Amino acid sequence: MGSRVLWLTTLLILVAFTLIIIGVLLLVLSALRESERGEKKVEAGGVFIIGPVPIVIGTSERVAKVLMILAIVLLLLSLLVFLVFTGYLRWW
């Protein structure tokens, strides 16, 4: 039983990595196809969460606002999950 679980876990991890690599390649190919069609405005951003503090980086104010809202939602969701799994908050 233990070796079967280990095998399935390994298989699941390999499938996940394969899907991530395929997704990244599709994004790169899509960006290359769009760049051939003409000049487009590109906006990008990122969120670094260090402890409970989200650090937002964006190329425009609109992107930064969207990422800040996303960071706050993810922070509240992770706090909720933490409280439920530690027993401080119960659903039932």
Q: Which amino acid is at 32?
A: L
Residues 22 and 46 in one domain: no
**Which stretch of DSSP H or E encloses residue 5?**
helix 2-37
pLDDT tens for residues 6-28?
A: 888 899 899 999 999 999 899 88
pTM of the predicted protein model? 0.54
Q: Residue 16's pLDDT is what?
A: 92
Residues 47 and 92 in one domain: yes
Q: What is the dihedral of CA 12, 84, 79, 23, to 10 degrees?
A: 20
Residues 33 and 54 in one domain: no
> What burial letters (b/e) apply to 19-52, b meaning 16+ CB within 10 Å?
eeeeeeeeeeeeeeeeeeeeeeeeeebebeeeee
Residues 45 and 34 in one domain: no
Q: Residue 34's pLDDT is what?
A: 75
Q: Residue 22's pLDDT is what?
A: 95
Residues 36 and 49 in one domain: no
Q: Residue 19's pLDDT is what?
A: 93
Q: 17 lies in which domain range? A: 1-40
Residues 45 and 87 in one domain: yes
pLDDT tens for residues 45-61?
A: 888 888 778 888 888 88
